[in-house]
Amino acid sequence: MPTPRPAASGSHRGQAAAGGRRAAGRPAPRRATRSAPRRRDGERSEALRRLLPQALVVAFLAGGTSAFVAGEKAVRLSVDGAPRTLHTFAGDVDELLAAQHVDVGEHDIVAPAPGTDIADGDEVVVRYGRPVMLTLDGRRRRVWTTARTVDGALRQLGVRAEGAYLSASRSSPIGRHGLDLAVRTERGVVFVADGREHLVRTNAATVREALEQAGITLDGDDTTSVPLDSFPRDGQSVSVLRISGSQQVREVSLPYRTVRREDPDLFRGTESVVQQGRPGVKRLTYHVRTVNGVKQRPRRTGEVVVQAPRDEIVHVGTRPLPTSVAGADGLNWHALAQCEAGGRPHAVDPSGTYGGLYQFDQGTWHRLGGQGRPQDAPAQEQTYRAKKLYVSRGASPWPVCGRKLHQ
């Protein structure tokens, strides 16, 4: 006998009863299969399959955004005193400046140094260099500074400006193109004047200005030991030269020339002065300076010829001398000359009246045809004239020595 099946509980029981009733009234419907639940599970799997790529994309995008945000930095950039905060992905200073189109040169300052890595919260400072044509106490040179004002440049360059003269105010800005700046620092200069020393503190550009500040006046030709327009140096000693001047005039003689001309009327060896020479006169003017009481060497300032020299003209004889004088050739003229003048053609007696071998006086010599002075004529001419004198007067012109003619 078959084993009885346990009764179904709940809905199962109802379903069994209904089945029993359907079985009694009409044919029973087909029993449902398990394919419907499997279809619903497939639909859910398909939906999940379709959503999975989208979820992966969302997850990827979410992770990439986190990485993107993590690479951005907030950096403070100050360019020539103008700060700003910016967000950047630059890894170092060079990349940051390039991204911001900031060009720097060899005279510019960048801190931190170019090439340094930067991190979030860092500060990068750029200060541009500015050219300054600096004339410091008379010496001019080109310098560079990153200061934006004259005052800052002076501090940066280490220029002592207390009491100094500045060509531009301390607050004057210095643009990128630069500035021309003159600085004259305060210096101590000692002036020695009138036997005293005068110390003055000055920032003057010239010795002349410093002299005025010291209250020292220059009069007339007064000057200083250094040029008045020179730059006064610190610790320099300058002497004041008190100068007085006077004028002196001197006259000097100008020598005359001697012009010699041939004369055929004069015997050879005879010279005759036909025009006496006369020296000229030149007037010289000198300026004499006295410096601090000491007389200096005179300086010639002018000259003028007051009287021109006159040439001396001398005629030189070219006529041949006669060889003899009749009636006098056989006499002892050598003995007479020795007695009268010791045989010397240029002899002159102590009174200056008589001259030559035979001691002619000037009048007698000229009457005999002689020129000039007898002592200047050659010995041969003097003997010739003596013979002519003897022919006309005998030995009387030589009262003492005349007898020698016949020895």
Q: What is the pLDDT of residues 246-290, one digit of tens each?
A: 899 999 999 999 999 999 988 787 788 999 999 999 999 999 989
- Specify the range with the lowest mean pLDDT, choosing from 1-10, 144-153, 228-237, 329-338: 1-10
Percent share of the chain, pLDDT over 90? 65
| pLDDT exceeds 70 at position 70 | no
Domain residues of the chain, as ranges? 73-127, 130-184, 187-241, 246-314, 321-406
- Number of Cβ within 10 Å of residue 124's Cβ equals 23
Query: Alpha-carbon torsion 295, 301, 304, 310, what sign?
Result: positive
CB neighbours of 79 closer than 8 A, spacing ≥ 6? 100, 102, 126
Q: Do domains 130-184 and 246-314 have the same CATH topology?
A: no
Closest by Cα among 139, 130, 183 to 159: 183
pLDDT at 67: 43
In terms of CATH architecture, what is 321-406? Orthogonal Bundle (1.10)
Topology of the domain comprising 246-314 = Resuscitation-promoting factor rpfb fold (2.20.230)
Q: Label residue 43 by pLDDT band (50, 70, 90).
A: low
Q: Label residue 173 by pLDDT band (50, 70, 90).
A: very high
395-405: b or e for each residue (b if 16 or more CB lie within 10 Å)?
A: bebbeebbebb
Which range of 70-74, 158-162, 313-317 scores highest in mean pLDDT? It is: 313-317
Domain 130-184 CATH assignment equals 3.10.20.30? yes
Q: Label residue 42 by pLDDT band (50, 70, 90).
A: low
Q: What are phi and psi of 91, to 5 degrees?
A: -90, -25
Q: In this predicted model, which residue has the larger pLDDT, 387 or 64? A: 387
What are the residues facing 302 on neighbouring strands? 285
pLDDT at 278: 96
What are the DSSP calls for 292-320, one per residue?
Answer: TTEEPPPEEEEEEEEE--B-EEEEEEEEP
Q: CATH assignment of 187-241, given 3.10.20, 3.10.450, 2.40.50, 1.20.120?
A: 3.10.20
Q: How far is CA 253 from the centre of its chain?
A: 48
DSSP 219: -
pLDDT at 91: 92
Retrieve residue 159's tokens: 């220029």
pLDDT at 324: 87
Q: What is the pLDDT of residues 373-383, one digit of tens each?
A: 999 988 988 99
